[in-house]
Chain A
């Protein structure tokens, strides 16, 4: 017993995970976001063993990789962080010899502002941050930011807002008439601050909000992600997902190869692998978000193909906006408003 423990200890201590071996790939991704079936099949197809390590936020991932000595090959940052990753030389341009199928990327996701022409990244999953409402409690218009910023009487004290500063700020900026989340128009920020401060007494919580609380009706409305909203609606048909007409955030997580990756070839092989429609569909079926790869619909769970949470209704497409990362001065203003809100 003691001997086994010591041997195990020695093995664990000695294993330098930076060591690169032939069939190995290290992925650094959001928790519970990588389809195990996809990984299984990838290993079966290529013989490459995959290790997945989780991060809990874009900030953690960026901080960790910046410092070096991480041993990761692939990372999956959100669009607003991609520019920083590229500018700081943390990503490696995709190898056109191996990543041959970038043509599979749906046309609207190719020339994106954060990576024009997709030189460094490919789509992983994309979605929207909107509003979930229990229509048995409130049956008025749900496609408005007023649900959060000026809750109707039925929802007073029963609203939950996700504790994501940038998403909440974006919805408030759009509602105040701004169209850039990093606007330097101080009047917009004044309006944002005032509307949030006035709205907060009507909120129940700023929580990630478990699916169960929405399903059970403990929370009557909230800012929520589209994929989670779909799961909640399947369990309770009274729940509906609204797209604020003044504007709502669209986001996309993107896979990229790290500049100091040890297993570059394997990483490139993986990137090209997830560009295949059937593989991209596996990602979606697991994580419940859309993937941005042409032709993947055919392999997707039919429930997703019709879901109003996943397929944005035509009249609301224009209101969806990609947020960008803000310069430090603007970021400071946002943090100050946020701190004041939660003081």
Chain B
């Protein structure tokens, strides 16, 4: 009975799920298997079962005395830094993206699509080229410093490139449309009578924003935050080029194991761990959101 009622929902999702299982999630099983094997010669794996990779995710063998195990401080630092950076990126994107999406959504319908396109046009240029352009903008003898020096506002160039500021700037740049577009999609059909009702009840702009507008566009916020936060954890190019590669992010650490480090099982185990953390967080998050909705509806 129940199955019949829900069958169509599955049917609608089926084509997408098939593609995903064939070309993304399915092959990931291979990575899961690899995390329990031994490293091969110069990359790859040798088919010998081992839990060493998983052990090494958390624990470090002392280089000079392999019998001595301790917490892998380097890995833990890198995990934490990635999560913290993604969080900051998401917040910056939300802080810039919400007003931007609102601005677009409140334009007359005729020009709305134009503004929307304006958000995505910069992303037609390749990521590397765009990142190099940002680098040119902020480096010591770059455009911004030259202008400031010329205007006499500073007498020494400000070191912006290769700093945390540069990484955050670059990350916000890359991920901004992923926040703006879902927010816009949610705002576009906003019922302004509700906003008006708020003002009629003498609510201040801030109160209306907080109690009326934000709850109404919440789905857009959720979608945008997921689209920004999760890929930001694995970001690779931006931290390397704008941050100067002085410190690694999770994406760089995993990339190192599959590349120059030539330890595929460790790379696989690190990837699986990342997957588990993200899926866990997502499921927990959805549970909370659903429960909230239930209490509101109930």
> In the bound complex, do residue A340 and residue B74 qualify as a contact, i.e. CB atoms below 8 Å apart?
yes
- Report if A108 contacts B (CB, 8 A): no
Scan residues 156-174 of chain B and give those whose CB is less than 8 A from a CB of chain A.
Answer: 161-162
- Report if A16 contacts B (CB, 8 A): no
Scan residues 224-264 of chain B and give those whose CB is less than 8 A from a CB of chain A.
Answer: 240-241, 244-248, 252-253, 256-263
In Å, the complex CA distance between A84 and B262 comes to 13
> In the bound complex, do residue A204 and residue B245 qualify as a contact, i.e. CB atoms below 8 Å apart?
no
> In the bound complex, do residue A59 and residue B42 qualify as a contact, i.e. CB atoms below 8 Å apart?
yes
Q: A193-B63, A204-B162, A336-B63 are in contact. Are A63 and B43 (CB under 8 A)?
A: yes
> In the bound complex, do residue A204 and residue B244 qualify as a contact, i.e. CB atoms below 8 Å apart?
yes
Which of B133-141, B186-194, B202-210 forms part of the interface with chain A? Answer: B133-141
Nearest to B76 among chain A residues (CB) is: A343
- Report if A217 contacts B (CB, 8 A): yes
> In the bound complex, do residue B42 and residue A217 qualify as a contact, i.e. CB atoms below 8 Å apart?
no
In Å, the complex CA distance between A212 and B245 comes to 18
**Candidates A84, A166, A190, A217; contact of B141 at CB < 8 Å:** A217
In Å, the complex CA distance between A339 and B240 comes to 14
Q: A207-B162, A339-B75, A343-B73 are in contact. Are A59 and B262 (CB under 8 A)?
A: yes
- Report if B132 contacts A (CB, 8 A): yes
> In the bound complex, do residue A328 and residue B41 qualify as a contact, i.e. CB atoms below 8 Å apart?
yes
**Candidates B42, B44, B241; contact of A207 at CB < 8 Å:** B241
> In the bound complex, do residue B260 and residue A165 qualify as a contact, i.e. CB atoms below 8 Å apart?
yes
Q: Mark A142-177, 1 if CB is under 8 A from B, else 0.
A: 000000000000000000100111100000000000
Q: A57-B259, A189-B63, A328-B39 are in contact. Are A218 and B248 (CB under 8 A)?
A: no
> In the bound complex, do residue B245 and residue A339 qualify as a contact, i.e. CB atoms below 8 Å apart?
no
Nearest to A186 among chain B residues (CB) is: B64
Q: A207-B162, A339-B253 are in contact. Are A59 and B258 (CB under 8 A)?
A: yes
**B258 shortest CB reach to chain A, Å:** 7
> In the bound complex, do residue A81 and residue B42 qualify as a contact, i.e. CB atoms below 8 Å apart?
yes
- Report if A319 contacts B (CB, 8 A): no
- Report if B223 contacts A (CB, 8 A): no
In Å, the complex CA distance between A186 and B66 comes to 12
- Report if A66 contacts B (CB, 8 A): yes
- Report if B78 contacts A (CB, 8 A): yes
**B151 shortest CB reach to chain A, Å:** 20
Q: Which residues of B contact A204 (CB under 8 A)?
A: 162, 244
Q: Mark A275-314, 1 if CB is under 8 A from B, else 0.
A: 0000000000000000000000000000000000000000
Q: Which residues of B contact A7 (CB under 8 A)?
A: none
**A98 shortest CB reach to chain B, Å:** 29
- Report if A60 contacts B (CB, 8 A): yes
> In the bound complex, do residue B41 and residue A84 qualify as a contact, i.e. CB atoms below 8 Å apart?
yes
Nearest to B262 among chain A residues (CB) is: A331
| Residue of B42, B44, B139, B260 with most chain A CB atoms under a 10 A cut-off | B42
Nearest to B78 among chain A residues (CB) is: A343
Interface residues on A, range: 35 or more
> In the bound complex, do residue A342 and residue B135 qualify as a contact, i.e. CB atoms below 8 Å apart?
no
Nearest to B135 among chain A residues (CB) is: A210
Interface of B is mostly: loop
In Å, the complex CA distance between A332 and B66 comes to 11
In Å, the complex CA distance between A119 and B75 comes to 43
**Candidates B64, B74, B252, B259; contact of A59 at CB < 8 Å:** B259
Q: A62-B42, A163-B245, A218-B140 are in contact. Are A333 and B73 (CB under 8 A)?
A: no
Q: Which residues of A contact B256 (CB under 8 A)?
A: 165, 335, 338-339
Q: A59-B42, A213-B139 are in contact. Are A165 and B246 (CB under 8 A)?
A: no
> In the bound complex, do residue B260 and residue A164 qualify as a contact, i.e. CB atoms below 8 Å apart?
yes
| Residue of B73, B246, B252, B258 with most chain A CB atoms under a 10 A cut-off | B246
> In the bound complex, do residue B261 and residue A331 qualify as a contact, i.e. CB atoms below 8 Å apart?
yes
Scan residues 71-112 of chain A and give those whose CB is less than 8 A from a CB of chain B.
Answer: 81, 84, 87-88
**Candidates B245, B247, B263; contact of A335 at CB < 8 Å:** B263
**Candidates A81, A186, A218, A336; contact of B139 at CB < 8 Å:** A218
In Å, the complex CA distance between A338 and B257 comes to 11
**Candidates B136, B161, B248, B259; contact of A342 at CB < 8 Å:** B248
Q: Which residues of B contact A340 (CB under 8 A)?
A: 74
> In the bound complex, do residue A337 and residue B245 qualify as a contact, i.e. CB atoms below 8 Å apart?
no
Q: Which residues of A contact B73 (CB under 8 A)?
A: 343
- Report if A325 contacts B (CB, 8 A): yes
| Residue of A189, A193, A218 with most chain B CB atoms under a 10 A cut-off | A218
Nearest to B244 among chain A residues (CB) is: A205
Nearest to A200 among chain B residues (CB) is: B246
> In the bound complex, do residue A216 and residue B141 qualify as a contact, i.e. CB atoms below 8 Å apart?
yes
> In the bound complex, do residue A343 and residue B74 qualify as a contact, i.e. CB atoms below 8 Å apart?
yes
Q: Kindly list 4 other residue pairs between chains A and B, CB separation below 8 angstroms, not including A81-B42, A163-B245, A207-B241.
A: A84-B42, A165-B261, A335-B263, A342-B252
- The 5 A-B pairs of least Cβ separation, nearest first, read A205-B244, A343-B74, A335-B261, A206-B245, A216-B141
Interface residues of B (CB under 8 A from A): 39, 41-44, 60, 63-64, 73-75, 77-78, 132, 135-136, 139-141, 161-162, 240-241, 244-248, 252-253, 256-263
Would you give 20 A-B contacts (Cβ < 8 Å), ordered by A?
A57-B260, A59-B260, A59-B262, A63-B43, A81-B42, A84-B42, A87-B41, A88-B41, A186-B64, A189-B63, A190-B64, A205-B162, A207-B241, A218-B141, A218-B161, A331-B261, A335-B263, A338-B260, A342-B248, A343-B248
